[in-house]
Amino acid sequence: MNTVATPEIKLTSERKRGNSIRSRLQDVLPKIVLAPSFAVTVIFVYGFIVWTAYLSFTNSKTFPSYALTGPRAYQRLWRWTFESDPPSSWYTSITNMAIFGFLYVGICLALGLFLAILLDQKIRGEGLLRPIFLYPMALSFIVTGVAWKWFLDPGLGLEQTLHQWGWTSFHFDWIKNKDFVIYTVVIAGVWQASGFVMAMFLAGLRGIDSEIMKAAQIDGATTLQLYRRIVIPMLRPVFLSAFIVLAHMAIKSYDLVVALTSGGPGGSAWLPSNFMYEYTFKRNEMAVGSASAIIMLMTISAIIVPYLYSELREKAR
């Protein structure tokens, strides 16, 4: 194949000899432009992942130390996961992550889709409603956390107000309750993100070819069937994007826990990110913090990589 192509290339290159430097430059220009950011990513993302992994096998305390001392940090985390009664901070963190991640992603997806379908019914005032739902996303988690902290505080917010209005038997102290405090984090998180998910789904809904819907309607499909059999399956790529966005927001939500609960009673609202920060920077146990970070990374990879793989392979087919 090469032998056939060569004369032709020679011919064109001879014809464009004057342009050859420029065309070569054009070939490499994207690479040159991308090189710095690529290098930065390699060093500051992947390089530091490797560095963190290395530190987790050392005895680093306040400052990094580089003498390898074996998997002591992992052994401690293992013990804290499986041999902890009462629950250790690490055990609390990972169970909280499971509860929070599952409910936050699940409720946001369900609520976002529901709102999007309602808004898609060609209602009046959609232009006004859409930004109202979307707006919480413009706030930072810190603001959301502080606002909900005041709202949920039994001495300041909802409970106090209802008591003043005369409903004195009303009782809602989840934010002060070690067993329920993580659900208040879910409430605040869902409030913030479901509008954004709604916008994503709405865009997806608008992208569906109306011909298909009409054809289905002519075939006698009810609205419920229409959505269940046709619309929602066609929104699959949107589900993927929304899931990725929500999952990474769930995993990194450190600020929400701090602003909303300051860690919760006895540290009962911690997520692994809180654990990692506490141990690395406040408790001067950098090795344990690094080990927890690596475990978080591995857990995420174990969930996201197969999911991405299956989704993307399906698309490619």
Partner 1 sequence: MRKFLGTAAAAAVMMAGTAAYSADVKEVQMLHWWTSGGEAAALNVLKEDLSKEGFAWKDVPVAGGGGDAAMTALKAMVAAGTYPTASQMLGYTVLDYAQAGVMGDLTETATKEGWDKSVPAALQKFSVYDGKWVAAPVNVHSVNWLWINKAVMDKIGGTEPKTFDELIALLDKAKAAGVIPLALGGQNWQEATMFDSIVLSTGGPEFYKKAFNDLDEESLKSDTMKKSFDNLAKIIKYVDPNFSGRDWNLATAMVIKGDALVQVMGDWAKGEFVAAKKTPDTDFLCYRFPGTNGSVIYNSDMFGMFDVPDDRKAAQVALATATLSKSFQSAFNVVKGSVPARTDVPDTDFDACGKKGIADLKAANEGGTLFGSLAQGYGAPPAVANAYKDVVSKFVHGQITTSDQAVEELVKAIDDAK
**Phi and psi angles of residue 68, each rounded to the nearest 5 degrees, phi first:** -70, 135
Nearer to partner 1, 38 or 44 (CB): 44
Residues contacting residue 199 through CB under 8 Å, at least 6 positions apart: 116, 130, 133, 134
Three-state DSSP class for 266?
Answer: helix
**DSSP-derived secondary structure letter, 139:** S
Does 59 contact partner 1 by CB under 8 A?
no
Q: Which of 137, 151, 163, 173 binds partner 1 (CB under 8 A)?
A: 173
Q: Which stretch binds partner 1 (CB under 8 A): 23-31, 50-58, 173-181, 225-233?
A: 173-181
Q: Which of 282, 313, 316, 317 binds partner 1 (CB under 8 A)?
A: 282
Does 265 contact partner 1 by CB under 8 A?
yes
Q: Which stretch binds partner 1 (CB under 8 A): 47-55, 61-69, 161-169, 189-197?
A: 61-69
Residues 87-106 that bind partner 1 (CB under 8 A): 87, 89
Distance of CA 243 to CAs 35, 304, 308, Å?
A: 30, 10, 11
Confirm if 83 and 90 have CB atoms less than 8 A apart.
no
Give the x/- contact pattern for partner 1 in 175-204, rule: CB under 8 A: xx-x--------------------------
**Total binding residues toward partner 1, as defined by CB under 8 A:** 28
Does 61 contact partner 1 by CB under 8 A?
yes
Could you give the CA distance from residue 284 to residue 277 in angstroms, rounded to a whole number?
A: 10
Nearer to partner 1, 231 or 276 (CB): 276
Q: Which stretch binds partner 1 (CB under 8 A): 112-120, 240-248, 264-272, 306-314?
A: 264-272
166 in the Ramachandran plot: left (φ > 0), alpha (ψ -120 to 50) or beta? Answer: left
Single-letter amino acid code for the residue at 257: V
- Peptide linkage before 86 cis (omega within 30 of 0): yes
**Spatial CA neighbour of 186 closest among 176, 194, 178, 198:** 194
Does 62 contact partner 1 by CB under 8 A?
yes
Q: Which of 60, 144, 192, 261 binds partner 1 (CB under 8 A)?
A: 261
